[in-house]
Amino acid sequence: MPNSHSSTVTYSPAYTIVPTYECFNRCTYCNFRTSPGQSPWMTLAAAESILLQLQSQKVSEILILSGEVHPHSPQRQQWFQRIYDLCELALGMGFLPHTNAGILTFAEMQKLKNVNVSMGLMLEQLTPALLQTVHRHAPSKLPEIRLQQLVWAGELQIPFTTGLLLGIGETKDDCWETLAAISDLHQRYHHIQEVILQPHSPGNQQTFDAAAFDPHQLPEVIAKARQILPPDITIQIPPNLVQDDGWLLACIEAGARDLGGISPKDEVNPDYPHIQEQALREILQPVGWELVPRLPIYPQFDNWLTGELQTAMKHWRTNIRDSKIVKKL
């Protein structure tokens, strides 16, 4: 049972827009990608029509989640511009964009900072052993390149979400080392808002032939992560990948306090439908946990935003506060 100081579990009312599923990497556990040239890019007109419908649905976060175009591809500039334009469109329509588009250059991150309240990139696992297995054909998964992204996010003061993928061939010590690396970078830049612990959950498209990460191990990993990570970093778990109410509650007891973006579809794990807000509330409330919406930027980072981002964020902070007051009346 929670105590009165920690009885809140958060989630982000979100919708995911995918600029393109094409990706030049081939991670063997991937259930998202298509080969380059095989999936049409999301047009601004198509995105606008989706966003118009979302305006009446209390969705605050637009997650821009994209496969990667090779840095040296002639399409790269056009790909980046499409992502930027989609963020700008979402922001202009009152939403709070959060982009995760894989590996970016410093200049690309700097530009996206102007149209995103936060950004993200999973570290997954830092052990180089995976470069011989699941990441053999995934140049973007070089550990030093991914760590560099977190450094740049810190230098640019971009509130950042990262995380671990569990059950892709790592050892427990590999996990603790990856968490320690996140902790070290956060102590330098104070920019990591949350760490996702994502259990590998086999899907229809992947070629990686391994069982799902055993959810019974997740509370132990969460408890250890809670010891390694600074207290101001929230631990997030995806509830659709912990397919048992009891274990979901065990994960929360162990220290997870966020359930991530709840949207109509989990684009990364399309075989595992999201549990929607009301169903989550029904699991949590009877044992004393209150499920509350949050924004894709945590409050301690609000003063890192400027201009239009600051205005949009303030609007949503008021909106969330008012909806809580209305609920209590």
Binding region for [4Fe-4S] cluster: 23, 27, 30
One of 7, 25, 217, 319 touching ligand SF4 (CB under 6 A): 25
> Using the rule CB under 6 A, is 32 a contact of ligand SF4?
yes
d(CA 68, CA 94) in angstroms, rounded, equals 26
Number of residues counted as binding ligand SF4 (CB under 6 A)? 12
Closest approach, Cβ 22 to ligand SF4, in A, equals 9
Q: Binding site: residue ranges?
A: 23, 27, 30
As to burial, measured by CB atoms within 10 angstroms (0-12 exposed, 13-18 middle, 19+ buried), residue 207 is exposed
Q: Vertex 58, ends 57 and 64: CA angle to 5°?
A: 90
d(CA 221, CA 216) in angstroms, rounded, equals 10
Decide whether 27 or 175 has the Cβ nearer to ligand SF4: 27
Helical residues (DSSP H) of 93-126, grouped into ranges: 106-113
d(CA 293, CA 299) in angstroms, rounded, equals 13
Tokens of 297: 């930027």
One of 97, 102, 163, 239 touching ligand SF4 (CB under 6 A): 102
The DSSP H or E segment spanning 235 is strand 234-236
* Beta-sheet pairing, 160-166 with 61-65: unpaired
Q: Which of 199, 196, 305, 317 is nearest to 257 (CA)?
A: 196
Stretch binding ligand SF4 (CB under 6 A), from 23-31, 72-80, 200-208, 296-304: 23-31
Per CB under 6 A, contacts with ligand SF4 among 216-245 are none
- Helix, strand, coil content of the chain in percent (nearest 5): 45, 15, 40
- For residues 161 to 200, the per-residue mask of contacts with ligand SF4, x marking binding by CB under 6 A and - elsewhere, is ----------------------------------------
Decide whether 30 or 249 has the Cβ nearer to ligand SF4: 30
Q: Which of 122, 149, 231 is nearest to 187 (CA)?
A: 231
Decide whether 101 or 185 has the Cβ nearer to ligand SF4: 101
Closest approach, Cβ 122 to ligand SF4, in A, equals 8
Stretch binding ligand SF4 (CB under 6 A), from 28-36, 44-52, 211-219, 309-317: 28-36
CB 203 within 8 A of CB 64: no
Stretch binding ligand SF4 (CB under 6 A), from 21-29, 85-93, 148-156, 298-306: 21-29
One of 12, 140, 178, 234 touching ligand SF4 (CB under 6 A): 140
Decide whether 18 or 192 has the Cβ nearer to ligand SF4: 18
3-state class (DSSP) for residue 28:
coil
Q: Which residues bind ligand SF4 (CB under 6 A)?
A: 23, 25-27, 30, 32-33, 67-68, 102, 138, 140
